[in-house]
């Protein structure tokens, strides 16, 4: 595999140019380009420039509104809703998360539902932003069906990621962002591109047989992590990010999707909690003692530590050269 070194600024500008050329306006393009750059900065290659061809395709097909103007409204002081206007999620986040943080800080708990949106990025930016304001945060989204429920050979769930963040007043938040599939589809696609195999238990081929060939899994289906336990969590996310917020599940999202390779329209559920109010100020010492113990166990690290370590490197990143050619060729 041949790679090209690019600065973080170059990564941002490449993403911005491609998105604007495909029909996104400045607000939408810059919001997406920012999360793409941050994914590359943090080492999340499956959610960085690798996503740009999908973003571009869904703009060109007309499925995504490149001039989306997301609107936030408060249904109650603690129940917020953002209509994504059929655009990409990052701009909706920019216009909503501050109000969600204010509501949770004042009232203890607040929720944000985002509908009529297309989420194609990592989930950690939303939860980390809330944790940096002293809040516990949980968010989840569904996707197109490409995961078979436990015991089945039929795709029904999306990869259905969930992210969680815990604030640390004197340190970086603890943040995890994970698919409920055994492996994120983006990582499977990158493995296929690079000619690598994936671990056993990742997925099945089109005939329902287990395989470590990522190309066969793409034609077939992924498996949930942890057997029936991961399958149940994936089901929960379908309900939280679909019906609970007034959107569809992965199964029905596929029926209205154009099949252009970009993300489907769907919903997002975000919960923000003020630990200071819920615990009456008694949360910090106990949580820090627990996290300190966890971080000092042999072979462990706190979630997010590798991402924070990657951020310290402000130098160029290695980007797949063929990917850059694909992005440059997109019109």
- Predicted TM-score (pTM) of the model is 0.95
Residue 216 within a domain: no
CATH of residue 322: 3.30.1370.60
Residue 263 counted as domain residue: yes
Output the pLDDT for position 102. 98
Cα end-to-end distance, the chain, whole Å: 25
- Tokens in use for 154? 């039929």
Note whether residue 275 is domain-resident: yes
Please tell me whether residue 110 adopts helix, strand or coil conformation: strand
pLDDT value of residue 258: 87
Q: Where are the beta strands (DSSP E) in 167-216?
A: 174-178, 203-204, 210-211
Residue 131 · residue 163 · CB < 8 Å: no
154 inside domain:
yes
Strands (DSSP E) found in 179-313:
203-204, 210-211, 221-222, 266-273
Kindly state whether residue 288 falls inside one of the protein's structural domains. no
Instruction: Examine residue 200 and state whether it is found in any structural domain, yes or no.
Output: no
* pLDDT for residue 38: 97
Domain that holds residue 57: 3-181+224-281+304-329
**pLDDT on residue 331:** 64
Name 61's Cβ contacts closer than 8 Å, sequence gap at least 6.
258, 260, 262
- Residue 94's Cβ-count burial label (10 Å; 0-12, 13-18, 19+) is middle
Per-residue pLDDT of the chain (331 residues; tens, 9 = 90+): 799 999 999 999 999 999 999 999 999 999 999 999 999 999 999 999 999 999 999 999 999 999 999 999 999 999 999 999 999 999 999 999 999 999 999 999 999 999 999 998 999 999 999 999 999 999 999 889 999 999 999 999 999 999 999 999 999 999 999 999 999 988 999 999 999 999 999 999 999 999 999 999 999 999 999 999 999 999 999 999 999 999 999 988 888 888 888 889 999 999 999 999 999 999 999 999 999 999 999 999 999 999 999 999 999 999 999 999 999 998 6
Which residues are identified as catalytic? 46-47, 187
Residue 292 lies in a domain: no
Residue 260: predicted pLDDT? 87
CA angle 194, 199, 202 (to 5 degrees): 100
Query: What local confidence, expressed as pLDDT, does residue 257 receive?
Result: 87
Number of domains in the chain: 1
Q: Is residue 189 part of a domain?
A: no
């Amino acid at each position: 595999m041949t790679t090209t070194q690019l600065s973080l600024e170059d990564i941002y500008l490449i993403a911005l140019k491609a998105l604007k050329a495909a029909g996104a306006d400045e607000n939408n393009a810059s919001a997406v380009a920012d999360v793409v750059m941050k994914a590359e900065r943090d080492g999340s290659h499956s959610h960085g420039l690798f996503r740009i061809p999908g973003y571009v395709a869904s703009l060109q097909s007309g499925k995504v509104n490149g001039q989306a103007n997301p609107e936030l409204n408060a249904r109650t002081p603690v129940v917020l809703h953002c209509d994504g206007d059929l655009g990409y999620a990052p701009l909706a986040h920019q216009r909503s998360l501050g109000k969600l943080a204010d509501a949770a800080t004042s009232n203890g708990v607040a929720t944000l539902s985002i509908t009529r949106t297309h989420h194609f990025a990592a989930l950690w930016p939303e939860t980390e932003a809330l944790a940096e304001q002293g809040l516990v945060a949980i968010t989840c989204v569904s996707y197109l069906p490409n995961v078979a429920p436990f015991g089945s050979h039929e795709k029904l769930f999306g990869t259905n990621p969930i992210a969680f963040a815990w604030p640390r007043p004197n340190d970086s938040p603890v943040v995890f962002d994970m698919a409920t599939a055994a492996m994120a589809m983006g990582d499977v696609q990158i493995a296929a591109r690079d000619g690598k195999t994936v671990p056993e238990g990742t997925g099945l081929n089109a005939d329902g047989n287990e395989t470590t060939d990522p190309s066969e899994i793409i034609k077939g289906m992924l498996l949930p992590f942890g057997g029936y336990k991961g399958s149940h969590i994936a089901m929960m996310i379908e309900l939280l990010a679909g019906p609970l917020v007034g959107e569809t599940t992965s199964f029905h999202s596929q029926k209205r999707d154009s099949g252009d390779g970009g993300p489907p329209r769907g919903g997002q559920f975000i919960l923000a909690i003020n630990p200071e109010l819920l615990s009456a100020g008694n949360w910090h010492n106990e949580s820090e003692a627990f996290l300190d113990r966890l971080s000092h166990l042999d072979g462990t690290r706190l979630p997010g530590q590798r991402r924070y370590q990657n951020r310290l490197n402000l130098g160029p990143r290695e980007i797949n050269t063929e990917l850059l050619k694909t992005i440059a060729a997109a019109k």
